[in-house]
Structure 1
Amino acid sequence: MFKGRHMLSVLAALFFSSPALAASSTGAIDRTPDIERAGDDVGAEVRIELTRPGNEGLAFNARLSEDGGVISWPISWQVKAFDGETLFSRDAETASLPAEPGDYMVEASYGAVKVERKLTLLEGQRLAVTFVLNAGGLRVLPKLKQLGLPAARPFTSIYKSSGVDGGTLVAITEEPGEILRLGAGSYRVESRFQPGNAEAMTEVMVKPGLLSAVELDMNAGIARLDASGAGEHDIYWIITDAKGKKLPGIPGPTADVVLKPGRYVLSTRIDGVEKTSAFTIEPGRVSAIIQSN
């Protein structure tokens, strides 16, 4: 905060509305998610210190909610001129810089939340701006009933589930229990394990300044594939479900595959020689499938 005898407090009316930003909807699992963009729904508190001409400057920090404390995690700050030139870029809890009088576009990115505001700095002023991001946290832990967290890699996608940008992919995580920083609102959470076909989905509400925790217990089992006794050979596994749908092929001598309960056909290729067998997956159980040359 800037200190001085002439400290004035003003409302966020110094800001002008940002242009409307179109949100794209996608279901592609491997797509880099769109960052949520906030405009007029993100508040800002501006404090002004009068100073000598030539000593003008800007300073920034942010809060998750209106009555929350200043965020103590790094925020990606960018200050741009109106011609698009980046004048300042830094990842830090707070940011400050000398600046000439004029119009600036200020961007703050925090997790999946990105805010943009136009700011006008007048001659003889220093502005200290606190953004209220209206954001919270979401912790997702996908696991299997009776088995906990398997060796297979979890893959979780977060989609907006309401508003004009409903259906937009906003975050992806492959780390179980990772805390995701999201704008307040309702979301659809979809999780699955790779390799495998088991998946789970739920709806969750993220509230500003709060951490929401979701545990997804999938009704599934594990096919533990093992051809380590086959020696040094090229090994490839192909699993087909009872409806004839093939899972993506799995290379390597061993793998834990998370599968929905049911019957499956397994084709094992060892140096181009294929063997076929059938197996059944029961929920909450591990089925060991051993192949040899």
Structure 2
Amino acid sequence: MFLAFLLAAPAAMAQERGGGGGSGFLGGLGDLLGGKPDGPAPYVSPSANDLIPNAGDVGVPQARAPKTFEPITLPKAAPGNLKAPKIDLPGLPAYAPQSAPSQNLLRHSASLSLRAVLVKGGATVPNGLIWRLFSAVPSLEGRSPLIASSQSATPSFDVPPGSYILHVAFGRAGTVKRIDFSGLKTQEIIDLDAGGLKLNAVVGEHGKPIPSRLRFDVYAEATDDAERKIVANDVPPGKVLRLNAGSYQVVSHYGAVNAVVRADIRVQAGKLTEATMTQRAALLTMKLVREHGGEAIADTAWTITNNEGDLVGESVGAFPSMVLAAGDYVIVARNNDKIYQRDFTVQAGKNTDVEVLTSDIAPSEDDATPEDAPPDDAPVDDAAANALKATGD
């Protein structure tokens, strides 16, 4: 169609030069673009119609009328959750995941293995051990650097050949040993030379158990040039202490005042030593009352001294209690600027409530008898008596 238009253009131009009306070529272009021509359509000579080819011959597609497509009917979904379609897949071979490499493959074949015994030829200690391996070559600071540590019963250390310092701790027991490792697989057996100590105490001649307020301190054996070093303090009864074999001094504290008992005990390697100590003391509960069996008076300060006047203990309250060793004491109670006093004897194993009456008023300094004053029943000289009588007359 476009070629036909080009062939008709010269004739239209000739017609325009011939004096025909309209705007010629521009007018036809206006029709193509949608504009309104100014005059009649261009004239085409009949002889030119044969020169215009058919649109199909020159490849120009012919206009087609629009077609109407029928809508596609979609399947209606069932109410509720949509279910995934079932897909049948061909059978797949079983998949076996590749196993991780064993740690034994990464372990150096030359390792230093360790185990500990309480006594030579004894069984291996199963737990409670702390192993520390230090280099035998000190650092610039003068300390041996820590190479490895473990809490296993039988540890293995992958270390290069060399000299090492091994420290093994078993409770409060321990030992140090130098090991020269050649690089070959080696097992070292460490003799701890240690045992156990279990402490308890009773009170009185009949050996009554002590339910509370009982603690122990353990000291190492004394040397000639040094005092005893404390190994363990504030140990409760029945607890097993792991100690190196040897002699120890045990101090038993019943209460927090003066009930103290000491004993020397020897611990044997590979054995549990049980020791029961005897306390000679009693638990006292004090109260200030107006009459026997009466109600205790609050806000009372208490002071306990021995017969020599040395201070033993102090307390404040309506019902103070304390453990005292067997012996004679003076109990002094202070309340509202008044002082009350009573003598008391503590018997081992006999826990007692001590009542101090408000009538037990302590003697004041004014009531004390002067040292130079003669006693009331001293004989009087007759001359002096007569002189006094004459003066009285």
TM-score bin, normalised by smaller chain: 0.5 to 0.7
Choose the corresponding residue for 2:193, options 124, 134, 141: 134
Q: Give distance in 1, aligned partners of 2:272 and 2:353.
A: 39
Q: Give distance in 2, aligned partners of 1:100 and 1:247.
A: 63
Letter of the aligned partner of 1:116 in structure 2?
A: V
Is the counterpart of residue 57 in structure 1 residue 111 in structure 2?
yes
Is the counterpart of residue 99 in structure 1 residue 156 in structure 2?
no
Q: Give distance in 2, aligned partners of 1:262 and 1:226.
A: 20
Is the counterpart of residue 247 in structure 1 residue 308 in structure 2?
no
Q: 1:73 to 1:282 in 2, by over 3 A?
A: same
Residue 226 (structure 1) shift: 5.9
Alignment of 1:98-177 (within 5 A): 98-123=158-183, 125-145=184-204, 146=206, 147-160=208-221, 167-177=228-238
Residue 182 (structure 1) shift: 1.6
* Higher RCO (CA 8 Å, separation ≥ 6 residues): 1
Residue 173 (structure 1) shift: 4.1
1:183-242 alpha-carbon deviations (Å, 9 max, x no partner): 2222222212232212222222221111111110112222134689556x6x76443222
1:127-171 alpha-carbon deviations (Å, 9 max, x no partner): 322211111111110221243214323233233257988834333
Match of 2:261 in 1: 200
Q: 1:259 to 1:87 in 2, by over 3 A?
A: same
Aligned-residue sequence identity (percent) comes to 22
Check whether the contact 1:62–1:131 (CA below 8 A) recurs between aligned residues: yes
Q: Please give the secondary structure, in 1, of the residue aligned with 2:119.
A: coil
Choose the corresponding residue for 1:180, options 241, 248, 263: 241
Is the counterpart of residue 210 in structure 1 residue 263 in structure 2?
no
Q: 1:268 to 1:111 in 2, by over 3 A?
A: farther
Letter of the aligned partner of 2:174 in structure 1?
A: K
Q: Please give the secondary structure, in 1, of the residue aligned with 2:312.
A: coil
Is the counterpart of residue 259 in structure 1 residue 324 in structure 2?
yes
Residue 273 (structure 1) shift: 8.1
Larger Rg: 2
Q: 1:141 to 1:193 in 2, by over 3 A?
A: same
Q: 1:96 to 1:53 in 2, by over 3 A?
A: closer
Q: 1:76 to 1:251 in 2, by over 3 A?
A: farther
Gaps of 5+ in 2: 1-105, 139-143, 289-294, 359-393
Q: Give distance in 2, aligned partners of 1:63 and 1:220.
A: 42
Q: What RMSD in Å do the two structures reach over aligned CA positions?
A: 3.4
Q: Give distance in 1, aligned partners of 2:236 and 2:355.
A: 29
Match of 1:281 in 2: 346
Is the counterpart of residue 219 in structure 1 residue 284 in structure 2?
no
Letter of the aligned partner of 2:344 in structure 1?
A: F
Residue 86 (structure 1) shift: 1.9
Q: Give distance in 2, aligned partners of 1:122 and 1:280.
A: 72
Check whether the contact 2:219–2:230 (CA below 8 A) recurs between aligned residues: yes
Q: Please give the secondary structure, in 2, of the residue aligned with 1:247.
A: strand
1:36-86 alpha-carbon deviations (Å, 9 max, x no partner): xxxxxxxxxxxxxxxx99543322221111121111231121112233222
Report which stretch shifted further, 161-170 or 78-87.
161-170
TM-score under structure 2 length normalisation = 0.52
Check whether the contact 2:108–2:158 (CA below 8 A) recurs between aligned residues: no
Q: Give distance in 2, aligned partners of 1:291 and 1:98.
A: 74
Check whether the contact 1:188–1:204 (CA below 8 A) recurs between aligned residues: yes
Letter of the aligned partner of 1:220 in structure 2?
A: A
Larger proportion of helix: 2
Letter of the aligned partner of 1:135 in structure 2?
A: A
Larger proportion of strand: 1
Residue 87 (structure 1) shift: 2.5
Q: Give distance in 2, aligned partners of 1:108 and 1:171.
A: 18
Q: Give distance in 2, aligned partners of 1:92 and 1:117.
A: 18
Check whether the contact 1:113–1:135 (CA below 8 A) recurs between aligned residues: yes
